[in-house]
A and B are shown apart, each in its own frame.
Chain A
Amino acid sequence: MFRRLFEPQNPVAFDFEGETVTAGEDDTVAAALLAHGIRHTRTSAVSGSPRAAHCLIGACFECLVEIDGRPNRQACLTLVRPGMRVRRQAGPAAMKNGGGA
């Protein structure tokens, strides 16, 4: 659906769900995933339906992903880094230190 206007000068590779994605060094994670043709980047915490980036300006929270083990990152506000590990945000994240008192 999305097509790059020009190929990146300095490509950066990162991992999305086990797949290697190549991006421009100034790409946001959301832009890189969209350019790579990935149409499902999170699952709604409320309805369970598949979602992907929408507003691309940090307002709508549709683009949430897990980055290097940290949940609920906004892919549209995060620049790509070589070797980063990105996963779909599957529903609501559990609180990290969610144990007892």
Chain B
Amino acid sequence: MSDADVIVIGGGLVGASIAWGLAGEGARTLLLDEGDGALRASRGNFGLVWVQGKGLGCPEYARWSLRSADLWGDFAAELHEATGIDVGHERPGGVMLNLSGAEERENIKTLAQIRLEAGNQPYDYEMLDRRQMAELLPGIGPDVVSASYSPYDGHANPLYLLRALHAGFAAKGGRYRPGEKVEAIEAGTGATTVRTGTASYAAPRVVISAGLGTTALAAMVGVDAPIVPLHGQILVTERTAPRLALPTNLVRQTREGVMMLGYTVDDFGFDTRTRADRSRNVALGALRAFPCLRDLRVVRSWAALRIMTADGFPIYEQSEDHPGIFIATCHSGVTLAAVHARDVSRWVLGHDMPATFRRFSTRRFDVQETV
């Protein structure tokens, strides 16, 4: 006896996007989530819907990110219609700032290589000199030597997004169970049983999209999905009048007016504390980019843990031993939300597997396949 057509394990941005997509396809969907104490990258996100610079050495990832960015407008509109929540999506293009000659050379090399690897697929961007930048983003600092601009990039409010996905999922008849940490997954013929501390549920299809919890859950069904935490820290300023017309990799202004300043990358294990020295580095970087920020007060700061594979690319895989059990995880839960809602949910229901997914299987981590 099955409790649902699909059980999705993990109620963060990835799981909630897939669950919303599944409910929209008419599948009876059960979304199991941990409690408020869960590590929750979705609540620490910077909020970029970002394409440029992603997918070096992996054109499938560059294309996947671009497809999601292209679908994002419709995705946000559907969420708005279903829930009344405006997730604040805008796509004015995005800017990556080069604060030194070395950064500039690296940026130029990376983007040229990604464009080369894109083959006959479009991959638009342009390099901007200081004069062009100053027109686009008045107030840019003297340390900024150049920038790259991509028309594909944009941003959204990740907290509204998570709320809208949950509200939309419920509105389409999905069942949500918080406080149910999954302790066992038992594959059986025709149905998989998922046990939590308090209950057990069975369904013919199960999606494991549990962020940093994915490794342990995937191991229960014989899949080695190595994922590690990567600490990132953000500062948020008081609200100010609209100033930045488009997001950059270091600073973005939200629709509500705050400046979000990023970012750091550190391996501190599972420690989610903020660090004063990292806050200082973030603030100094932002001030080099935009000296005009110096009179704004910082009102919030937080750290969160990215969900990282060894190569930084996502994992999408259906278990070979147990068809019907799927693994989907990545660190770009905002950017990829639109393809998770559309393409991944259809794949889980047995429609076409996106052609690029062969590249995203965990097989790539096998020693035998590493050159």
Chain A residues within CB distance 8 Å of chain B: 45-46, 61, 72, 91-101
Among the listed B142, B241, B255, which residue makes an inter-chain contact with A95, where contact means beta carbons less than 8 Å apart?
Answer: B241
User: With a CB–CB cut-off of 8 A, which chain A residues contact B138?
Assistant: 100-101
Whole-angstrom CA separation of A92 from B237 in the bound complex: 12
Chain B residues within CB distance 8 Å of chain A: 134, 138-142, 238-243, 255-257, 291-297, 299
Cβ distance B188 to chain A, nearest Cβ, rounded Å = 49
Contact, CB under 8 Å: B139 / A99 = yes
Given A61-B299, A92-B257, the answer on whether A98 and B243 have CB atoms closer than 8 Å is yes
Contact, CB under 8 Å: B296 / A95 = yes
Given A72-B238, A92-B241, A95-B293, the answer on whether A100 and B299 have CB atoms closer than 8 Å is no
User: With a CB–CB cut-off of 8 A, which chain A residues contact B255?
Assistant: 46
Rank and list the top 10 A-B pairs by shortest CB-CB distance, nearest first.
Answer: A92-B241, A92-B257, A45-B239, A94-B241, A96-B295, A72-B238, A92-B239, A45-B257, A46-B256, A95-B292
Contact, CB under 8 Å: A97 / B292 = yes
User: With a CB–CB cut-off of 8 A, which chain B residues contact A72?
Assistant: 238-239, 297
Contact, CB under 8 Å: B299 / A98 = no
Query: Can you identify 20 A-B contacts, CB atoms within 8 angstroms?
Result: A72-B238, A72-B239, A92-B257, A93-B239, A93-B240, A93-B241, A95-B243, A95-B292, A95-B293, A96-B295, A97-B292, A97-B295, A98-B139, A98-B241, A98-B292, A99-B139, A100-B134, A100-B139, A101-B141, A101-B291
User: With a CB–CB cut-off of 8 A, which chain A residues contact B139?
Assistant: 98-101
Whole-angstrom CA separation of A97 from B290 in the bound complex: 11
Cβ distance B257 to chain A, nearest Cβ, rounded Å = 5
Whole-angstrom CA separation of A92 from B242 in the bound complex: 8
Among the listed A61, A95, A99, A101, which residue makes an inter-chain contact with B240, where contact means beta carbons less than 8 Å apart?
Answer: A95
Cβ distance A73 to chain B, nearest Cβ, rounded Å = 9
Contact, CB under 8 Å: A45 / B256 = yes
Contact, CB under 8 Å: A92 / B299 = no
Contact, CB under 8 Å: B142 / A101 = yes
Among the listed B134, B243, B293, B295, which residue makes an inter-chain contact with A101, where contact means beta carbons less than 8 Å apart?
Answer: B134
